[in-house]
Amino acid sequence: MNAKPAHASDQPTRAQDMERPRPLTTVDVVIFTVLDGELKVLLVQRPQTEGEPFPGRWALPGGYVDVARDTNLLACARRKLKEKTGIASPYLEQLGSWGSRDRDPRGWSATHVYFALVPGADLKPMKGGNAADVRWAPVRTTSGQPGMAFDHGEILEAAVARLLSKVEYTSLPAYLLPEPFTLPQLQRMYEVILDRPVDKSGFRTRTLAADFLEEVGQVEGDANRLALAYKMRDRDRVVVFPRTFSPRG
């Protein structure tokens, strides 16, 4: 196959570079939180405006990279997150990118997707005057359902899979709580996300052995008795446990 040399199309001349048609470039953010004891994801409604793709459908928050304002992809994601939730320094990591000829009716487009965890209590009472087009959707009844704009249904499923997988062996759920928090509260975050009970004793041993928490006095727990309060030693470092949480099976 293929008579012309392989690198001909990879290393075009400078003139060709600049003329070449470019895909649309966007950044989307999957923002998770736990509210009312349930895992939720932030969705925005597409405008009903004439000519807009997927009018009225729910989508992940995001938008175009602004080559004048955004110095890089992470900064762009951070900006969009701040705009939607008012939170400046949440947990934020890259999930992946999705790009194809037909995911956006406006043409070849590629989106860089980020994954965020924010504490439920920190949330502004739903930002600004446009509450109607933004909502916290329960993940369990949303992910896997059809009807989302673009390929955001697929992206959401990937994000949920990543979250569930990482929760089994990392300290991620700590980012869902405002500091300081108690160990039982942290345990409940794990239970909510994994949707199964976790043994208290094992949880404590394991969590404290990982040594990513720091005692910061006492605080009222969820009962009469006081509980020890903790905060993360280093919010920039996610801890990976040597083994998984999984029960015998």
Residues found near DNA in the complex (CB under 7 A): 182-185, 199-202, 204-206, 209, 218, 221-228, 242-248
CA distance 28 to 109: 12
For strands 62-64 and 226-232, give the pairing. Answer: unpaired
State the nearest-atom distance from the C-beta of 6 to a copy of itself, in Å.
Answer: 4
State the nearest-atom distance from the C-beta of 176 to a copy of itself, in Å.
Answer: 23
- Among 57, 73, 135, 204, the residue binding a copy of itself under the rule CB under 8 A is 73
- Among 40, 80, 152, 188, the residue binding a copy of itself under the rule CB under 8 A is 80
Nearest residue (CB) to DNA, 90 versus 120: 120
Sequence-separated (6 or more) residues with CB below 8 Å from residue 242: none
The conformational region for residue 195 under phi > 0 = left, psi -120 to 50 = alpha, else beta, is left
Q: How many other C-beta atoms can be found within 10 angstroms of the C-beta atom of residue 114?
A: 24
Q: How many other C-beta atoms can be found within 10 angstroms of the C-beta atom of residue 76?
A: 24
CA distance 187 to 192: 9
Contact of residue 223 among a copy of itself, DNA, none (CB under 5-8 Å per partner type): DNA
- Interface residues with a copy of itself (CB under 8 A)? 1-2, 5-7, 9-14, 17-18, 20-25, 44, 46-47, 49, 51-52, 61-73, 80, 83-84, 94, 96-102, 106-108, 110, 112, 127-130, 133, 242-244, 246
